[in-house]
Structure 1
Amino acid sequence: MTEHTLTVAGVTVDTRHWIGGERIASAETFTDVSPIDGSALGEISRGTATEAAAAVAAAKAAFPGWAATARAERARILHAIADGVDKRIEDLAIVETHDNAALLRSHRRGVMPRVAHNFRFFADWLLKLEHEEFETRGHTNRVSWDPAGPCVLITPWNAPLMLATWKIAPALAAGNTVILKPAEWTPLTASLLADIAAEAGLPAGVLNVVQGYGAEAGNALVSHPDVRRISFTGSVPTAKAIGAASAANLVPTSFELGGKSPLLVFADADLDLAVDLAVEQYDNAGQVCLAATRILVEESVADEFTKRFAQKAATLQQGDPRDEATDLGPNIHPRQLEKIDGFVQRALAAGARAVIGGAPHTDLGGLYYRPTLLTDVAQDSEVVQEEVFGPVLTLQTFATEQEAVALANDTRFGLAATLATGDHERAARVTAQLVAGTVWVNCFFVRDLQAPFGGSRQSGVGREGGTWSFDFYCDLKNTVTAPKGWQNHG
């Protein structure tokens, strides 16, 4: 370990920013703490408006060359980055587990392979990106996707590298340059990615990483006049602040925000499947924006569902996320744990009943919160209406299909919804009425990068994935050519 590196379980990580192909240190630092045991992982360079401006300048300078790079060459470099990720899956998994306390087994088997897939998918999509030419009174229309310019990408702490590369890969594939600001609670794998991208041959300045706080580095980035796109995943209040800053420069934004998604369980559903889907919502200690935290169950099967749910949830193993047997690790930060428990205790004081859980896991200590299911909750209560972002679910009942849909849609969010039913016609009727960017029927978290992803209402603005990503990260152009007026010059 040197002055500007730290070591996590044998993996060395540079703690400086990555700007213009160079490591840049800041005068001040912030401490990165592991949620697993509260230990300090190291001191991270703390970016300010100075580093933000330098990163935008580097991205702006690199943009013409990268934008002019042939599609095939851009795709080749993205595949090389994916190869680099594949070679370092174990390092990335270990570092991210220590940094955000998500399960090591999940990082190894799913999350980090998905990081590589993000780059491969958008590299391949770029090569087939086209719109069929069409005629207008004999004139030919040709649609093209032109690179927009420097893009600021601000990403969350719950799946740091996977969600960052979900944005980075299409932005780079489109021919843009990128300034990434990772969450200050989880900055480490973004630094490793910078190394991997440089080794893959990505030109200097095409990818830049600025670490720090949103109010300092983040605000300076989103308000910079040379930025051409902003994509953010996080909270509604932060998105509103970013939207206000970006409006001054008329910069297009893409927001993936909070969720309060429902799981509708009808009496005709496979009840064991429905229980499995419900218990799956505790994934990543409940720190998943897409989680169906509001379980809505038809009255006639509610008691049986609740009994089976409690039995299934009791089999979950809570503990050290580095242990292969662990199902639930700790939450990310003392502030988050306090927020989670505040929601639960206020709900209990208002008359809610905890079927399971209802408090921190004092036997484990630290940041562990017991998986919790609350019943006897009012539809207008905060625990039903607001995003908790922890292992806390609510259970309500309904009598009719119409009531189920009304309850499902009765929040300010609209990110996702999950439906358990054995009736194809009901599935079609209900899904057509749900306000959500993604609806899963008898399944959960099946995601394909070809599909549009985003939220309705206050769950977001815009859609990304497949061609939708290129639509956002590019300036679309239509070229109309007349059939006459040409001269042949031999």
Structure 2
Amino acid sequence: MTEHVLTVAGVAVDTRHWIGGERVASAETFTDVSPIDGSILGEISRGTAMEAAAAVAAAKAAFPAWAATPRAERARILHAVADGVEKRLEELAVVETTDNGALLRSHRRGVMPRVAHNFRFFADWLLKLEHEDFETRGHTNHVSWDPAGPSVLITPWNAPLMLATWKVAPALAAGNTVVLKPAEWTPLTASLLADIAAEAGLPAGVLNVVQGYGSEIGDALTSHPDVRRISFTGSVPTAQRIAASAAVNLTPLSLELGGKSPLLVFADADLDLAVDLAVEQYDNAGQVCLAATRFLVEESVAEEFTRRFVEKAGQLTQGDPRDEATDIGPNIHPLQLEKIDGFVRRAIAAGARAVIGGHRKDGQYYAPTLLTDVAQDSEIVQEEVFGPVLTLQTFTTEDEAVHLANDTRFGLAATLATGDPERAERVTGQLVAGTVWTNCFFVRDLQAPFGGSRHSGVGREGGTWSFDFYCDVKNTVTAPNGWRNHG
């Protein structure tokens, strides 16, 4: 062990950056704290503009060779990375839970297997990526996907490794090199990913990891003239700063931002199913961008829906996320907890009623909360809380339900509970959202487009959409019978 290696839940984690295939320390550090109990995990290298520039330079130097690497070889290496993830799945799960407080059982059974799947899916999709040639007045059109160049990927803290690899895997598959900047509250599994990628044979400089505060290194990454793609998941204000920075070089952006998604429950819905969907919105202590945080319930069933919801939510267990019996863990950071509590306190002061919850608990835990008597134009209805806080409003007509659902600046997702397929078709066709679920929630397929409308984002990723973003899509037109003898 060295001074730069932490032991977290029995797993050794290097605290330095990964740049050009080497570990690089910074003069300054920042403190990483576990949300489970507030314990200090260790000091992490705190990147500056110097490390950001070095990472971009390493990505630029590695780009020509990686871009020229045959598709089959790139795919083979990505599968090797997936093998490494699966080999270290338990280590990744326990480190991630310690670092971000999400349920260990979820990391073991769903999240970390999805990390491996991210690499396998895009490796396989790369090998079948093609567009059928077509003719224009006898000329042949051939579409191809050329690697774009170094890509900066800035990822959030609510599902750190899964959301990082959702970007890293397609960028690498496309032939781009990567500078990954993980969230400062959850840097540890990105460091482990660097080790896994190196062991899998990914060439030096193809994946670089720079840690630190976005306010200190963000502009150096996003305004760099050698960066050709930027993908960001996070808040609207940060995205606006990134967009302004990227505009200097007209660097293409993919932005997956906040949500204030609705759950529409019609009187003809299976109420037990609707309640199950509603309670599921407390997943990850409410720290899910896609969560349907606004319940819109038809007035005639609102009282019964609320009764069943309160009963079902009351069965949830909140506590240590390492315990298999726990359903809701802590929130990520004292600052986030204060933000959540501020939203609730202001809502109650404005006339909202807490049907359940509405208060902090010991440590970094917030009681699962449902607020009623909220106005459509109120802060609690219009702004993203990103905690276990839900609101309930009623409607009397289908048109009113659609109006309420669409009446925010966001448009990331929507969930609909109804027993009428014709109504489902009508309503989903009118909802402003990148993803709509009918009588289900959080069913995700990597070949589907993912992204948001309005202030919930710019662009789509997933399947071919990811390659469309991470590549320069080229059309080559060839004239008929235009070849001359040259021999």
2-structure distance, mates of 1:101, 1:217: 26
Which aligned pairs between 1:77-476 and structure 2 lie closer than 5 A?
A: 77-361=77-361, 365-476=362-473
TM-score, length-scaled by structure 2: 1.00
The alignment-based identity, stated in percent, is 87
2-structure distance, mates of 1:387, 1:9: 32
Letter in 2 for 1:162: M
Q: Deviations over 1:370-389 (max 9, x none)?
A: 00000000000000000000
In the alignment, structure 1 segments of 5+ residues that lack a partner are none
Shift of 1:219: 1.7
Which aligned pairs between 1:26-105 and structure 2 lie closer than 5 A?
A: 26-105=26-105
Q: Secondary structure at the match of 1:145?
A: strand
Shift of 1:484: 2.2
Q: Deviations over 1:118-144 (max 9, x none)?
A: 000000000000000000010000000
Higher mean C-alpha deviation, range 45-54 or range 477-486: 477-486
2-structure distance, mates of 1:33, 1:5: 15
Shift of 1:215: 1.0
Letter in 2 for 1:290: L
Which ranges of 4 or more aligned residues in structure 1 deviate by more than 4 Å? none
Q: Deviations over 1:301-348 (max 9, x none)?
A: 000000000000000000000000000000000000000001101111
Q: Deviations over 1:228-278 (max 9, x none)?
A: 000000000000000000000000000000000000000000000000000
Shift of 1:172: 0.2
User: How big is the alpha-carbon RMSD for the aligned residues of Structure 1 and Structure 2?
Assistant: 0.6
Q: Secondary structure at the match of 1:293?
A: strand
> What is the match of residue 16 of structure 2?
16
Higher mean C-alpha deviation, range 451-460 or range 215-224: 215-224
2-structure distance, mates of 1:485, 1:227: 38
Q: Secondary structure at the match of 2:318?
A: coil
Shift of 1:485: 2.5
1-structure distance, mates of 2:350, 2:476: 62
Letter in 2 for 1:67: A
TM-score, length-scaled by structure 1: 0.99
Shift of 1:218: 1.7
Q: Secondary structure at the match of 1:439?
A: strand
Q: Deviations over 1:428-447 (max 9, x none)?
A: 00000000000000000000
2-structure distance, mates of 1:395, 1:2: 53
2-structure distance, mates of 1:256, 1:312: 31
Q: Secondary structure at the match of 2:292?
A: coil
Letter in 2 for 1:11: V
2-structure distance, mates of 1:353, 1:51: 49
